[in-house]
Amino acid sequence: MTRVKLNNIETEVELSGPATGAPIVLIQGYASQMTSWPDEFHEALAAAGLRVIRFDNRDVGLGHKHHGVIPDIRAVAAAVKEGTTPPVPYTLNDMADDVAALLDALNVQSAHIAGASMGGMIAQLVAIRHPQKTRSLISLMSTTSDPSLPRSDPAAQEALMAKPPAEDKDSVADHATKTRLVIASPGYPEDQVKVRARFAANYDRSYYPEGAIRQWTAIMATAPRTEQLKRLNTRALVIHGDADILIKPEAGRHTAECIKGAELHIIKGWGHNMPIAAVPAVTGPMIDFIRRVEAGRA
């Protein structure tokens, strides 16, 4: 892993795959470290000849921590409702600019920008704000945040917001494993022992619940991307699961509808997680899409 400076902050980055391969940036979701990608996921992309770039977002993992800055969620919600500037340390726009700065720091002129969930929101903003750096946009289990879209199932909302009963490793790993089951993929069951082991390993790497508050308000404070995506002139692939109860499949369809020429791939039985069994179903369309985009660039 490599420590990289960008936008007056630092973060941890890991590169894999051939140095001459087409670069792809993987952006993780809410409160998720880059180590939350299954090894099989980025290894499949690297084996296909891609130069895979993973990194930690702000306030998670080994990324920059905005220690002690605790936004008032009610004040942020009120400002959003009133149409005024929310009092937050950063928004998803800033996190998208981090991605652009990361590419500069790595001397990468452009890359395929892929993100899951909140990472997909950030990926959309990279394409919007930095089109010259975006070879293509790949939005996984994500949304435009349009207010007309259906809300998460109550059980998914409750699971996302629930806190562990204590902050020791066993309590946190048990809680995270139970939470994941709520939003998991019925078509792709997981080995819960392995799932828990990954959560425990991430706890050892960095347990930082304070950062999740700021990431949540960054989502709240960022405007929907519907109209911006309609003006986008970038090749795009949208992949979503028909069993996603956190970000409903309608959100994926809406994302694809907004982007001219976007390709939509709905995976049967896939929820809001990345089980190892589902990796081929997700990476297969990604690799095929990137190869076609690269062929067009050539």
For each of the domains in the chain, give its residue range(s) and CATH number, in order of start.
2-146+208-297 (3.40.50.1820)
pLDDT at site 131:
98
Mean pLDDT computed over every residue of the chain? 97
pLDDT at 123 > cutoff 90: yes
CA distance 97 to 90: 11
Confidence of residue 280 (pLDDT cuts 50, 70, 90): very high
**Phi (first) and psi of residue 135, to 5 degrees:** -70, -40
* Digit-coded pLDDT (tens) for 149-182: 999 999 999 998 899 999 999 999 999 999 999 9
pLDDT at 209 > cutoff 90: yes
Question: E strands within the chain?
Answer: 2-6, 9-16, 23-27, 51-55, 111-116, 134-140, 236-241, 263-267
Confidence of residue 8 (pLDDT cuts 50, 70, 90): confident
pLDDT at 196 > cutoff 80: yes
* Digit-coded pLDDT (tens) for 32-42: 999 999 999 99
The most distant pair of C-alpha atoms in the chain lies apart, rounded to whole Å, by 54
pLDDT at 1 > cutoff 80: no
Instruction: Give the residue among 105, 92, 93 at the shortest CA–CA distance from 11.
Output: 105
Confidence of residue 298 (pLDDT cuts 50, 70, 90): confident
Work out the percent of the chain whose per-residue pLDDT is above 70. 100
pLDDT at 67 > cutoff 80: yes
Token couple for 271: 């929820």
CA torsion sign, 152 to 115 to 122 to 298?
Answer: negative
- Angle between helix axes 118-129 and 92-105 (nearest 10 degrees) is 70
